[in-house]
Amino acid sequence: MESTTETDTNGLTRTEVAERVASGKTNAFSADTSRSAWSIVRANVFTLFNGIVFACFLVLFLVGRWQDALFGLAAFANAIIGCVQEFRAKSALDRLALMNAPRALVLREGVQAEVAPGEVVLDDVLILRAGEQVPADARILTSHGLQIDESMLTGESDPVEKQPSDDALSGAVVVGGEGTAQATRVGADSYANRFAGEAKRFSLVSSELRASVDRVLKWVSWVIGPVGLLVLNAQIIVGGGYATVFSSGAWVQAVVNTIAALTAMIPLGLVLMTSIAFAVGASRLARRQVLVNELPAVEGLARVDVVCLDKTGTLTVGEIGFDAAHPLAGSTTELSGTAAAVLSWFAASPDANATARSMGTAYPVTHPLVVRGYVPFSSARKWSAVTFSEIPGAWVMGAPEMVFGDAATSDATELGRMVTTLAETGRRTLVLGRSETPLSEADIESEQLPSELTAVLVLTFREQVRPDAAQTLEYFTRQEVGIRIISGDNPRTVAAIAREVGLDVAEGYDARRLPEGDAELADVLDRHSVFGRVTPEQKKRMVTALQSHGHTVAMTGDGVNDALAIKAADIGIAMNSGSPATKAVARLVLLDGQFSHLPDVVAEGRQVIANIERVSMLFLNKTVYATLLAIMFGVLVLEFPFLPRQLSITDGLTIGIPAFFLALMPNAARYVPGFLRRSLSFAIPSGVVVALGLTWYTFVARGLGVQEEQLRTGATVILAVVGIWILAVLARPLNRFKVIVVGAMFVLLIAVFTIPLAREFFVLVDPGEDLAIALTGIAIVMVAAIEVVRLLHRRLVLSPKTAATTRVIARASTATTPPAGVVAGIITTVVVVLAYAFGVLATGFGILVFLGRYDPDVSTSAFSLAGAAIALFGLLVLAVAAGIRRGSGLSRLMLTIFLGVAVALNAVVIVFGDRWDWGAAVTVLVAATLITLMWSPPVARGFGRIRESSMGAARP
C-alpha cells in the first residue's frame, strides 16, 4: 500500500486513522515464520545419512532380521532431537523478528501518540529519535541531524544522513539526531516485510565443531557407496558366488553383513552428541539469565581471545548521575542565572540523552526558553548547540575535546588543566561553551560549531562501577583473554574506570588519533587496551581490525551505537537493558544485565568444545576402523565378523552411552584451534590398530577352524574390551564419576555376555579354549598399541600451547612436588612400571578366566563374573598408572582400591578353583608389591593431597 496523500504537518485525524484501519492500510503484518515446520522436519529427517540408515533399517525388516536393526534407534533419536531443538529455535526466532521495536511515536491531530508498530497506518507522521527503529517505510519530512543505520536491511554499514524527501526503510535504526517522516508503505508492502524471509533467516554463527562434523560426514558420503559395493561383492562370493547365493538364500546373510559394515561407518552419534551438548549448554546458561540466540554461540565465546567492552552499561551500571558544575575563571556569575537556565533546557530537551537528563534535578526548568536554532546531539559529533530568543548568542554542550579540540587536554589552558584533573578521578566531563554569535542557518545546515566559543563550565558526572566487573576482568586475564575497553568518553575518564576495575593502564588512547589504515589500526589495538572518544563506526573498525590479526573477538554493549560493532564481532553480547536493535543482532543477551555471567558462558563453551573433542575421538575411531574393516574384508574376500546387532552392543556401551555422560561433564580446558586435526590424529591410528587387530584375529580364527558364530563372538569380545580401553584412555584423568561411567559400561557388557536371554539374542556362544587364548593375546596387544598411540598423540600432536596449558592447570591443581631423593624416584619409576605390567597381566588373565568358564551351565558362576571383574580392574589400573608419575594423590588412592579389589577377586579364583591357579597367584603378588611400594615413606611423601589432585579436574 503506497501513499499518495499530501503531507499534513499535524498528522492524521482520528477519522482518517479509522478509515485506513477499516480498509486494511495498517502496518499489521503476520509474517511467515523463519522456517516452516515442514522445512525443519525435512532438514532433520530427509538427510543423506538418515536415508542410508532408514533404507538399511527397512531392508533388515523385509528380510526378517529385525533383531539386527537396533542401529535405527540412533537415527530416530537424532532426527527427533534435531526437530525438537530447531522448533525451539524457530519459536525464539519468531519472537526476535526484525520488526521488534517496542513502540512507535506518531503525530496525530498535532499530538504525539505512542502506538504499537502494527497500529501505524498509511500516511501517519512518524517521530524519529535516536535509538528507535523506523516502524514503516517512510519519506522524511523534517531532519535535525537525522542519521539512520540501514545495515540490517541493505548491508551498508555506514549511517546515512537523511534530508527532507529522502526515504527511510522500515527496520532501520535511528543512530543520531531527530526528525519526522510520513509512512509511505505499511504492512506486507514495507521493505522489511517484503524481505522478511531474508531478514529473519537464521544466520549461523561460526562453529568449528559443526563445521568439522559436517566435513567428516561429507568424507564418509564420498566413500560409503563404493565401499558398500565392495563389501557386498565379497559377502556374495563368500556365500557361494552370484550363481548360488540367490537360490540358496545365502544372499540374506550377505546383505546383513553389508549393512553391518555400512552402518558402522556413519558417525550418527557424533551429530547427536554435538546437538545435545549445545542444547544443554544453552539450557544451563538460560538458568543463569543468559539468552543464547544461536546454540553454537555457546561454543563461540570459548574460542574468543579478545573481549571488547563498552564502558557504560558494561563495566558501569549505566546509570549516570550529575556530580557538579565547575566554573572557569571569569564565569562564576553566569552560574546563578543564564548558564543555569541553559543547563535546565539541555536537561529537558526532547533528544536529551541519559547524561543530559541527569542534570534535571539540579537544574529544573523554571522558565521555558524559546529555541530559535538548534543542532541536535549526535554520537558522531558528541555535541549539541542551541540559540534562544531570550538569551543572546549560542550555547554548546558536549565533550570538551570535540568542542574545544586540543585546548581541552592541554596543560597550557585552564580548561585543559581542569578537564584533565577531573577526568583522572574517573568522572565523565562535559563542557558548556558560549559564543556571542547566534547559530546561523549555515551553521545549522552544515552542523558546525559557532565561531569564537569560550568555555563557561566544566560539568562532571559519576558512574557506578559494577561490583562484579573487577572479578570478571581478573578471570579473563587469568584465562589469557585480551581486554579492550572502548568508550565514547574522555580517554582519561575511561582509563580511571579501567584502573578502578583492576587493569594496569596509565592512560587511555584518544580514538581521534587512530590511523586510517586497517593494518596500522590493528597494530595500535595490539599495543593499547583502553580507548576513549570512540565513534560507533570506529568501534566496528576496531573489531574488524582485531579480526584481521587472527583474533576471535567478542563485543559487549547496550546502546544502539554498539550495534554495528556487536554485529561485526564473532560473538556479540548485549545487555537486556539495551536497545531492541542491539539485542536483535547479538548472539547472547544477558537478561539481568550482569556482566559477571560472561565467565559462565566461557566455561560452558569450553566444556562443550573440550568434551565434544573427547567424544569425537570415540566416534571417529569407530568410523575409521569400520571403514578400514569394510575395505580390507572386501578386498580379502572375508565374511564380515559382526552382525549388526553385535555392533550395536559395542556402539552403545563403549561409545554412545558413555559419550552422553562425558559430553556433559565439567571441563575447563582452554580452547585451542584445530579440533578436527587433533581428533583425527588419534582416531586414525587407533582405528588402524583396531582394524588390523580384528583382521589378524579373523585369520587366526579361520586357521583354528572355528564356527562362524564362535568367530563373531570372539570379535565382539575383542571389540568390547578394546572399546572399553579406548573409553578409559580418552576419559583420563579418571575421577570418581568417570570410574563409575567406565565401570558401569563394563558391567553392562558383562551382563550382555552372561545373561542367557541376551546371549541368545546377540548370538554369543562359547568361543572354545584355543580361540579364547588367541583373542586374549590379540586384545592385550591391541590395548598396548592403543596406549602407545595415545602417548604419541599427547607428545607429538598436541600443540605447544595445549601442552603448556595442560601443564599449568596440572601444576595449579595438584600443588605437589616430585618425590624427593634418588631412591624415591627410582621406587616411583618401579611402581609405574609394575602398575602397567599388572594392568596388562590382570586384563589378560581376567579375559581367560571369563572365557574359560563361558559355558551355558556355568556362565553366571562366580568364576565367570570374577574373571570379568579382574579384566575391568586391570584396565582401570592401566588407566590411572600415569597419574602415579605426576604425584597425584587421587591416582594413588584409586590404584590402591583397584589393586585391593583385584586381590580379592583373584583370591576367589584361587580358593574356589578346582586347581592351583598360578596366574591368580602372580597377580596377587604383583598387586601386594605395588601397594606396599606406593605407601612406603620415601614414595608417600611425594604424593599430593587427594582433594588437591589433578585427577579431580576434568581435562581432555
Q: How many of the other CB atoms lie within 10 Å of CB of 226?
A: 11
pLDDT per residue as tens digits for the range 155-170: 344 567 788 888 888 8
How confident is the model over 129-142, as a mean pLDDT?
A: 86
For residues 650-662, average pLDDT: 82
The pLDDT of residue 22 is 87
Backbone φ/ψ region at 110: left (φ over 0), alpha (ψ -120 to 50), beta: left
CA distance 616 to 676: 9
Over residues 158-187, mean pLDDT: 83
The mean of the pLDDT values for the chain is 78
pLDDT of residue 330: 64
832 vs 208, which has greater pLDDT? 832
Query: Which range among 512-526, 689-703, 821-835, 847-861 shows the weakest confidence by mean pLDDT?
Result: 847-861
Contacts of 899 (CB under 8 A, 6+ apart): 838, 873, 877, 927, 930, 931
Report the sign of the C-alpha dihedral through residues 584, 590, 596, 600, in that order.
negative
Contact 738, 731 (CB under 8 A): yes
Identify which has the larger pLDDT, 333 or 413: 413
Q: State yes or no: pLDDT of 326 exceeds 80.
A: yes
**Number of Cβ atoms within 10 Å of the Cβ of 385:** 26
Residue 711's pLDDT band, with cuts at 50, 70 and 90, is: very high
Q: Are 843 and 878 in contact (CB under 8 A)?
A: yes
At residue 396, the pLDDT reads: 94
Q: Which residue would you say has higher pLDDT here, 444 or 151?
A: 444
Cβ contact 586:293 at 8 Å: yes
Distance of CA 670 to the CA centre of its chain: 12
Nearest C-alpha neighbor of 717 from the set 757, 789, 761, 767: 767
The C-alpha cell at 611 is 568434551
Which has the minimum average pLDDT: 38-52, 352-366, 583-597, 706-720?
A: 38-52
CB 888 within 8 A of CB 733: yes
Average pLDDT over residues 481-492: 84
User: Is pLDDT of 199 > 50?
Assistant: no
Cell readout for 833 is: 612400571
Q: Let me know: does 90 contact 134? Beta carbons within 8 Å.
A: no
Give the SS3 label for residue 698.
helix
Cα–Cα distance, 172 to 158 (Å, whole number): 12
More confident: 125 or 864:
125
Q: DSSP for 312-363, please give it.
A: IIIIEEEEEEEEEEEEPTT-HHHHTTHHHHHHHHHHHSTT--HHHHTTTTTS
Give the cell for residue 114. Answer: 505512542
What letter would DSSP give residue 2?
B
Say which residues have a Cβ less than 8 Å from residue 949's Cβ, sequence separation at least 6.
813, 814, 883, 888, 889, 890, 891
Closest to 745 in 3D by CA, of 868, 922, 589: 868
| Mean pLDDT lowest among 36-50, 669-683, 913-927 | 36-50
Q: At which residue does the C-alpha cell 607429538 appear?
A: 796
Residue (of 417, 428, 313) closest to 359 by Cα position: 428
d(CA 288, CA 281): 11
C-alpha cell at 257: 553383513
- Residue 212 main-chain phi, psi, to 5 deg: -70, -45
409-420 pLDDT, tens digit per residue, is: 888 899 999 998
Angle at CA of residue 287, ends 282 and 288, nearest 5°: 95
Most confident of 283-292, 335-344, 613-622: 613-622
Give phi and psi for 735, each to the nearest 5. Answer: -120, -175
Provide the β-strand partners of residue 463. 320
pLDDT at position 929: 84
Interval 510-523: pLDDT, tens:
888 888 888 889 89
815 closest CA partner among 613, 934, 953, 954 = 953
Instruction: Summarize pLDDT for 840-897 with one digit per residue, the tens.
Output: 888 888 888 777 654 444 444 556 777 778 888 888 888 777 777 666 777 778 888 8
293 or 694, which is more confident? Answer: 694
Q: Please give the pLDDT value at position 770.
A: 87
Diameter of the chain by CA atoms? 116
Residue 883 to residue 427: CA distance in whole angstroms: 54
Residue 279 has pLDDT above 60, yes or no: yes
For the cut 70, the answer to whether the pLDDT of residue 947 exceeds it is no
Distance, C-alpha 849 to centroid of its chain? 47
Q: Are 713 and 752 in contact (CB under 8 A)?
A: no
Question: How high is the pLDDT of residue 320?
Answer: 76
pLDDT of residue 653: 84
What are the C-alpha distances in Å from 490 to residues 448, 497, 528, 614, 670? 21, 11, 15, 47, 35
**At 912, is the pLDDT very low, low, confident or very high (cuts 50, 70, 90)?**
low
- Contacts of 595 by beta carbon, 8 Å cutoff, 6+ apart: 314, 315, 466, 468, 469, 472, 556
- Write down how long the chain is: 956
Predicted confidence at residue 54, as pLDDT, reads 76
| pLDDT of res. 820 | 47
Share of the chain above pLDDT 90, in %: 9
What pLDDT shows up at residue 7? Answer: 55
Q: Which of 123, 189, 305, 310 is catalytic?
A: 310
DSSP 8-state code for residue 591: T
Least confident of 122-126, 276-280, 553-557: 276-280
* 310 tagged catalytic: yes
In one letter, which amino acid is 643? Answer: L
